[in-house]
Amino acid sequence: MKSIAAAILLASLIVGPLAAQVDRTKAPALGPAPALHLPALRTVTLPNGLTLAVVEMHKVPVVEVQVLVDAGTARDPVDVPGLAAFTANMLTQGAGTRGALALADEVAYLGAQLTAVSDFDAVTVRLHVPSRHLESALDLLADVLLRPQFADSEITRQRGLLATTILQQRDQPVAMASIAFPAIVLGPGHPYGHPTAGNDSTPPKLTHDRVVSFYQTSYRPNATKILVVGDITLAQAQRLFTARLGAWPRGAVTPFPHGKAPAPASRSFYLIDKPGAAQSVIRIGEPGVARSTPDYATIQVLNTILGGAFTSRLNQNLRETHGYTYGASSGFAARRLPGFFVAAASVVTAKTDSSLIEFMKELRRIRDDSVPQAELDKAKQYLTLQLPGAFETTGGAAARFRDVLVYNLPLNWYERFGPAVNAVTAAQVQRAARRYIDPDHFAIVVVGDRALIEAGIKALNEGPIVYRTMWGQPAQ
């Protein structure tokens, strides 16, 4: 160390005349952070009940459109998990007068991207296109939304591809953990308890009739909101979308499904064997909160301290202090219905038990001890000061505003978020931790090489071990 310091000192003596006086011993004091000026979200409702929400951003001549249909995976029928996602995918496999390949050809020719995917609370049909091709691309979007072909040959083809995708999930320990965890915590009957793609039983059940029937009952203008962000005005959007979607007939909308997680069991380990795995994939958590929770801002602060940022406790401990992992994190899946809380990491197999000890230590500490003021301030500043940058691109702004639409938040929600975060106290964080993070009832899911990790987990003496499949079902 000494010789290095001497070398640096010596080197610094030969610096040229440009060397300026700089005090490196302390971080420079910063001026006030720039004020938050968010682009405005303005909405209009068409006569058929379709909500149109527009954010004008004219910096780059592109437009991002997200059609948000209340036809998501939570609405999967009990006997066909995965139907919502498959139906969404089928929208782009031929529509209007174009078959699947001709549609793909035209989309690419326009320099556009057009996809349809389902998550639990909504289907998103997304179009991103240079604004000079907007009208042609919107014609394709309207075909996809209103005139999908659902050809038998395409359904058969996509069913086969889905079967391969589901088969290949066995190769991916992270996918296995992500499928098993909600099934165990929320139960397979819960609207959020099964994977969006479905399971092994799904592909044969994806018949033409089931797809058409799901589409006809779920895709309604009065169950749809369209977010348009970019080089466009509200008046222009209203004209373009009215011309294409104005005649879409309104229809009955079935209520969003109910779902209640089972009363949580006492803390248990759920071990999913993956022989030869180089790492153990860990998921720790329990049922959580809905997006509408009044504690939302507090929970964001809590999670930023615990596992939502690089310097949060879980990552600092498991990665930066111990080197057990490439990254540890946590999050609340706050959705229309209460989702779950989860803490997660992929850790080296030999340190599976040690990693679990550190996870439990941090998950207990956040409840037991009040958060120091500096750590609280850092988390609040990180959450609020990052907001302006999140709205730089059309995609970034859309990612934020879609929550306002899907979760029926006030249009000025992001203006209110900063003050709400700034008002959060250490006492509120601790109260939220004690309420929403309950180590006595954790489900601890580990996907890894059972022969190498089981004894270490048992020796932790933190709870019984049960064996599960990647679907969360009891294993043989």
Partner 1 sequence: MLPRLSWLMIFAVTPLAAQGLRVPYDSFTLANGLQVLVAPDHAVPVVTVNIWYHVGSGDEKPGRTGFAHLFEHIMFMGSQHVRTGEFDKLLEAAGGDNNGSTTEDRTNYFEDAPSNALPLMLWLDSDRQGFLLPEIDSAKVDLQRGVVQNERRQSYENQPYGLAQENILQRLYPPDHPYHWPVIGSMADLSAATLEDVRNFFRTYYTPNNSTMVIGGDVDTAAARALARKYFGDIPRGPAVTRTPPPAFGLDSNRVATIDDRVQVPRVYNAWHTVKAFAPDDAALDIVATILATGRASRLYRVLVYEKQIASNVVAFQDGSRIDGKFEVFSTARPGHNLPELQRVIDDQVRLLADSGPTVRELERAQNSIEADFLNAMERMGSFGGKADRLNFYNYYVGTPDYFQPDLERYRRVTAADVQRAARTYLRDAHRVVLSVVPQGKPELAVKEAP
What residues numbered 161-190 form the site for partner 1, per CB under 8 A?
Answer: 161, 163-165, 167-168, 170-173
Please report, as residue ranges, which positions from 280 to 309 form the binding site for partner 1 (by CB under 8 A): 309
Kindly state whether residue 33 participates in binding partner 1, applying the rule CB under 8 A: yes
Kindly state whether residue 326 participates in binding partner 1, applying the rule CB under 8 A: yes
Structural tokens at position 85: 């996602």
- For partner 1, the closer of residues 49 and 395 by Cβ is 395
Note whether 397 and 57 are within 8 A (CB). Answer: yes
Kindly state whether residue 1 participates in binding partner 1, applying the rule CB under 8 A: yes
- For partner 1, the closer of residues 104 and 357 by Cβ is 104
- For partner 1, the closer of residues 151 and 265 by Cβ is 151
Least distance (Å) between residue 422 CB and partner 1: 13
Least distance (Å) between residue 258 CB and partner 1: 33
DSSP state of 92: T
Please report, as residue ranges, which positions from 84 to 103 form the binding site for partner 1 (by CB under 8 A): 100-101
Q: How far apart are CA 173 and CA 191, in angstroms?
A: 23
Please report, as residue ranges, which positions from 440 to 469 form the binding site for partner 1 (by CB under 8 A): none
Distances (CA, A) of 365 to 138, 306, 347, 359, 463: 52, 10, 21, 10, 19
Residue type present at position 444: I
| Strand-pair category, 443-448 with 268-273 | parallel
| Local structure of 467: helix, strand or coil | strand
Binding to partner 1 by CB under 8 A, coded x per residue (else -) over 362-401, reads ---------------xx--xx-xxx-xx-xxxxxx-----
Question: Hunting for tokens 């499904």 — which residue is that?
Answer: 257
Please report, as residue ranges, which positions from 105 to 164 form the binding site for partner 1 (by CB under 8 A): 105, 107-112, 128-130, 132, 157, 160-161, 163-164
Please report, as residue ranges, which positions from 238 to 277 form the binding site for partner 1 (by CB under 8 A): 276-277
- For partner 1, the closer of residues 391 and 436 by Cβ is 391
Kindly state whether residue 201 participates in binding partner 1, applying the rule CB under 8 A: no
- For partner 1, the closer of residues 51 and 354 by Cβ is 354
Q: How far apart are CA 9 and CA 22, in angstroms?
A: 15
* Length of the chain, in residues: 476
Count CA atoms closer than 13 A to 405's CA, side-chain side: 31
Largest CA distance in the chain: 81
Residue type present at position 32: P
Exposed/middle/buried for residue 50 (C-beta within 10 Å: 0-12, 13-18, 19+):
buried
| Strand-pair category, 224-230 with 51-56 | parallel
Helices (H), 234-369: 234-245, 296-303, 313-315, 352-368
Q: How far apart are CA 272 and CA 341, in angstroms?
A: 20
Please report, as residue ranges, which positions from 55 to 74 form the binding site for partner 1 (by CB under 8 A): 59-62
Least distance (Å) between residue 315 CB and partner 1: 9
Binding test (CB under 8 A) with partner 1, winner from 77, 262, 323, 372: 323
- For partner 1, the closer of residues 186 and 398 by Cβ is 398
Least distance (Å) between residue 450 CB and partner 1: 15
# of chain residues touching partner 1 (CB under 8 A): 92
Least distance (Å) between residue 284 CB and partner 1: 18
Binding test (CB under 8 A) with partner 1, winner from 310, 415, 419, 434: 310
Binding test (CB under 8 A) with partner 1, winner from 235, 243, 247, 278: 278
Q: How far apart are CA 210 and CA 83, in angstroms?
A: 8
| CA 193 to chain CA mean position, Å | 15
Kindly state whether residue 40 participates in binding partner 1, applying the rule CB under 8 A: no
Least distance (Å) between residue 431 CB and partner 1: 24
Q: How far apart are CA 320 and CA 40, in angstroms?
A: 40
Binding test (CB under 8 A) with partner 1, winner from 212, 234, 253, 348: 348
Note whether 453 and 400 are within 8 A (CB). Answer: no
Least distance (Å) between residue 351 CB and partner 1: 9
- For partner 1, the closer of residues 152 and 392 by Cβ is 392
